[in-house]
Amino acid sequence: MTLFRVPGPIGVNVSNNSGPGPEFSASLGNFQAPTTGWTGDIFPSSFSQTPSVMRKMTKTTDLVEQIDNDYADICHNMRSEAFGKLMMDYRDEAVAYTQTRTAELHRWDEQAKARTLTWFNSSDDEIRDYLLPRLGSTMRVLKSLTPDNFDYDTGENRQLSGCLPGQGMFEEGAIASVCPIDTERHRILINMKFFTIPKRGVTFGTNIFTGKDSQLQTLIHEVTHFNDVASSTDDFYSNKNALFHAKHPKARMNADSLAGYILGINI
């Protein structure tokens, strides 16, 4: 009897927050440019395996550093009105940041070129043309989100999204998960660790991002994974690691790179 190995959930922890982490490819099929319209043709005809979950991870040993004055202070109840309001606030902020970055790309001045050079090692027109449709798709999906798009990260909910169940909401290191092929519902599955990281990851009393994982960046990170947005990967976790690998060809498809760029993080 021939045995087949079923792929498990995708995700690795960064080995050291002070330097580059492991490279890990998590590409799920071919990207279809948002401007051409979504046809649902995600995988080559020869692809027959069940897709895996894409996840935002954090290093568990860094939680003491991450829990600061910006600590999430809402109840861990995703059915509550408070949680729904929190996520809608993040949605609106994420839309505003995406609009700002889109306007910057349209201006394509020295500041805009410097930012793409920092995150993607390019200030050519090609990187602008690459980013514009993906930011447009990010904004489209963000604007469509309601509290109903968020649920607990469980095996059952992953299966409903079209992905493998994995180990559920208590898996070490996971913050949130999506199934990239869930382009109709855009379900975002939340782990309990989501509630232990800063809300926006800014220096207390300012709007300056520290570069740490945050709930706001996690939302943008997860949205970019969808195949009708950017089909982003998780090759380089954390902003520091993403910036370290800015010269890597995969940087432009890396979820933390795209999310960090949209937020304008500068560390």
Q: Residue 157: give its domain's CATH number.
A: 3.40.390.10
Which domain covers residue 82, as residue numbers?
68-263
Angle made by CA atoms 230, 224, 237, in degrees to the nearest 5: 110
Q: Is residue 52 part of a domain?
A: no
Q: Is residue 37 part of a domain?
A: no
Cα distance between residue 74 and residue 76, in whole Å: 6
Average pLDDT, rounded, for the chain: 76
pLDDT at 26 over 90: no
Q: Check residue 77 and give its pLDDT.
A: 77
User: What predicted TM-score, i.e. pTM, was given to this entire model?
Assistant: 0.72
Q: Is residue 19 part of a domain?
A: no
Q: Are 218 and 196 in contact (CB under 8 A)?
A: no
Phi then psi for residue 254, to 5 deg, are -80, 130
Q: Side by side, which strands form the sheet with 174-178? A: 54-57, 174-178, 188-190, 150-152
Residue 265 — very low, low, confident or very high, per pLDDT cuts 50/70/90?
very high
Q: Check residue 54 and give its pLDDT.
A: 64
177-200 pLDDT, tens digit each: 899 999 999 999 998 889 888 888
Q: Is residue 24 part of a domain?
A: no
Q: Is residue 18 part of a domain?
A: no
Residue 30 — very low, low, confident or very high, per pLDDT cuts 50/70/90?
very low
57 or 34, which is more confident: 57
Q: Check residue 53 and give its pLDDT.
A: 62
Q: Is residue 7 part of a domain?
A: no
- Angle, helix 110-120 to helix 255-263, in steps of 10 degrees: 150
Residue 211 — very low, low, confident or very high, per pLDDT cuts 50/70/90?
confident
Q: Is residue 46 part of a domain?
A: no
Cα distance between residue 215 and residue 196, in whole Å: 9
Q: Is residue 44 part of a domain?
A: no
- DSSP annotation of 167: T
Burial label, 152 (beta-carbon count in 10 A; 0-12, 13-18, 19+) = middle
Q: Check residue 52 and give its pLDDT.
A: 57
Token pair belonging to 175? 């913050």
Number of independent structural domains in the chain: 1
